[in-house]
Amino acid sequence: MAVWLFFAVVLSCLFLLPDPAFGITRHYTLDIKMHNVTRLCHTKSLVSVNGQFPGPKLIAREGDQLLIKVVNHVPNNISIHWHGIRQLRSGWADGPAYITQCPIQTGQSYVYNYTIAGQRGTLFYHAHISWLRATVYGPIIILPKLGVPYPFPKPHKEVPMIFGEWFNADPEAIIRQATQTGGGPNVSDAYTINGLPGPLYNCSAKDTFRLRVKPGKTYLLRLINAALNDELFFSIANHTVTVVEADAVYVKPFETDTILIAPGQTTNLLLKTKPSYPNASFLMTARPYVTGQGTFDNSTVAGVLEYEQPKHAKTSIKNLPLFAPVLPALNDTNFAAKFSNKLRSLNSKRFPANVPLKVDRKFFFTVGLGTTPCNHKNNQTCQGPTNTTMFAASISNISFTMPTKALLQSHYSGQSNGVYSPNFPWNPVVPFNYTGTPPNNTMVRTGTNVMVLRYNTSVELVMQDTSILGAESHPLHLHGFNFFVVGQGFGNFDPKKDPKNFNLVDPIERNTVGVPSGGWVAIRFLADNPGVWFMHCHLEVHTSWGLRMAWLVLDGDKPDQKLLPPPVDLPKC
């Protein structure tokens, strides 16, 4: 009897332990608070996470459940988006303010509860309200399940490198002023790597990210572009890297000396160091890829790759030669196109590319800039394209108006009347020569329009850049899904010719894609995630101007195809 009881207790304890196949539950607390930070010899109080800038690294494994308590100690409303996490049936935890939740108000908290299903790699979190993500961001590292190796050589060390932008002024004041005047916002004062601007900026030699390495080792660099408004070229002097992952999806490895990474994108690189001590150090630099006609931060952030010195080295590391890489020209769209075309899904037996081959719905959206009338009283002029217009941005000529109630809550409660319109157009209402001479009428419509999809609808979406106010690259991010980039090109999309060249075998799978300047991109995805999902340009200035929309995916018939009920602590508007 005693033996039986002993085994019963042991078995019950085993059942209480988390199954490694399903992961464990991890608890984090993120305190949103003000703290002073000095960069470029300028000290300011900024909104940060746990008193850190950038915020702390979150680590999990595929299959883990995360319970992340976010506590708001600042005067601003806050919400946090877990960029790239699929949020299967857990849309309440996605984070964009007024889309899936009302923001967390001062003195309040909210527990984001989600499980990482079928994902591993590098993602990140950031504030998703106004321009607070300028300082509220940090890495998410998703390790493979225990016992599952990387599909590439195991690295000696893994290093997150997160790009950002530093503003001497308050970013909230910058976008507030731009919204009032109708003009473009002031640009940043520096780019940063892990919050540090580096030696190419005034007063910043001490604020430099230094990557110290050993000869003959392989390092996994987890690159994240958390910059507000700029795509970035990145290179390490006298070194090549191997691209092995993009947006937390493994890719067919390829070597390059330079990469392009848009805001919202992540890229994992293998850096194999030189076999012996090189008696030199090497700059790691990033600067913008620019396609628009507006002003931009034309500066370069640099970190330093330093080799561990031999014990009896005669030259101080400070006196070693310092080599700098040569980056592409600021407007090198040719490099951008070639680099994006090299990205292919790994498409192995363990990591297949499940591209939808049958398409239920085909959509054609335009993306670009436009104008709205000056809304100033007393006949004051605007600082937009003309003195009577303000800058705007749109998808299919609809500039999205943010609601004052969360879309997901409105949908779930059946109280959506007056909150949003479920009639987003499948195609442009007024077709025109999208990349040719712009039309005389540059005005956009405004509205809170969503596209409604039945559960499990397979979607093909073509996004076409327009030349209204100038062609420009737009990194579009889709919440709640990964998608396959099946085609892209320049000029106007040809629905008869271009689909013949779609890659339906091993297209890159990601969550953020650049719509080429003066071109188009075609994506496919399966609407297998019920909820309301934001889609927007990840250039924050364009999002603020209205280049955003939402997809509403209805519940399926089976219990595991339905959105989970809202949590009890969901913030109220």
Query: Taking a C-beta distance cutoff of 8 angstroms, is the pair 492, 435 a contact?
Result: yes
pLDDT digits (tens, 9 = 90+) for 415-471: 999 999 999 999 999 999 999 998 889 999 999 999 999 999 999 999 999 999 999
User: Rounded to an integer, what distance in angstroms lies between the CA atom of residue 193 and that of residue 207?
Assistant: 10
pLDDT digits (tens, 9 = 90+) for 137-148: 999 999 999 999
- Residue 312 CB burial class (10 angstroms; 0-12, 13-18, ≥19): exposed
Sequence-ordered list of residues with C-beta below 8 angstroms from that of 166, at least 6 positions apart, any chain: 39, 40, 188, 189, 190, 191, 192, 197
Closest CA to 394 of 538, 534, 545, 181: 545
pLDDT digits (tens, 9 = 90+) for 66-107: 999 999 999 999 999 999 999 999 999 999 999 999 999 999
Query: Taking a C-beta distance cutoff of 8 angstroms, is the pair 124, 266 a contact?
Result: yes
With 80 as the cut, is the pLDDT of residue 20 above it? Answer: no
Q: Residue 171: helix, strand or coil by DSSP? A: helix
pLDDT at 165: 98
pLDDT digits (tens, 9 = 90+) for 221-263: 999 999 999 999 999 999 999 999 999 999 999 999 999 999 9
Closest CA to 517 of 332, 391, 381: 332
CATH of domain 22-150: 2.60.40.420
- Residue 378 CB burial class (10 angstroms; 0-12, 13-18, ≥19): exposed
Closest CA to 221 of 263, 252, 193: 193
pLDDT digits (tens, 9 = 90+) for 500-532: 999 999 999 999 999 999 999 999 999 999 999
Does 22-150 match 152-345 in CATH topology?
A: yes
- Could you tell me how many residues make up the chain? 573
Strand extents, DSSP E, 290-439? 301-307, 322-323, 361-373, 389-395, 398-400
Map tokens 């712009």 to a residue.
438
Sequence-ordered list of residues with C-beta below 8 angstroms from that of 281, at least 6 positions apart, any chain: 304, 305, 306, 307, 317, 320, 321, 322, 323
With 60 as the cut, is the pLDDT of residue 63 above it? Answer: yes
Pick the range with the lowest mean pLDDT from 39-43, 373-377, 542-546.
Answer: 373-377
Map tokens 């929309």 to a residue.
549
User: Rounded to an integer, what distance in angstroms lies between the CA atom of residue 41 and that of residue 508?
Assistant: 42
Judge: domain 152-345, CATH 3.20.20.100.
no
Better-scored residue on pLDDT, 214 or 14: 214
Q: Which two tokens mark 359?
A: 């398409």
Map tokens 């010719």 to a residue.
497
pLDDT digits (tens, 9 = 90+) for 164-198: 999 999 999 999 999 999 999 999 999 999 999 99
With 90 as the cut, is the pLDDT of residue 317 above it? Answer: no
Share of the chain above pLDDT 90, in %: 91
Sequence-ordered list of residues with C-beta below 8 angstroms from that of 85, at least 6 positions apart, any chain: 94, 114, 116, 119, 123, 140
pLDDT at 379: 59
pLDDT digits (tens, 9 = 90+) for 375-388: 766 556 789 999 89
pLDDT at 376: 65
Q: How far is the first Cα of the chain from the last one, in angstroms, to the nearest whole number?
A: 59
Domain ranges of the chain: 22-150, 152-345, 361-553
Please report which confidence band the pLDDT of residue 210 belongs to, taking 50, 70 and 90 as the band edges. very high
Q: Which two tokens mark 307?
A: 């080799």
pLDDT at 22: 74
The pTM of this model reads 0.95
pLDDT at 5: 40
Task: State the DSSP string of 410-466.
Answer: HHHTT--TTT-BS---SS-SS---TTSSPPS--B-EEE-BEEEE-TTEEEEEEEEE-
User: Rounded to an integer, what distance in angstroms lies between the CA atom of residue 247 and that of residue 258?
Assistant: 17
Please report which confidence band the pLDDT of residue 402 belongs to, taking 50, 70 and 90 as the band edges. very high
Sequence-ordered list of residues with C-beta below 8 angstroms from that of 30, at least 6 positions apart, any chain: 49, 50, 55, 56, 68, 69, 70, 71, 80
**Rg of the chain on CA atoms, in Å:** 24
- How much is the mean pLDDT over the chain? 94
Please name the amino acid found at residue 391: F
pLDDT at 19: 42
pLDDT at 13: 35
CATH of domain 361-553: 2.60.40.420
pLDDT at 348: 97
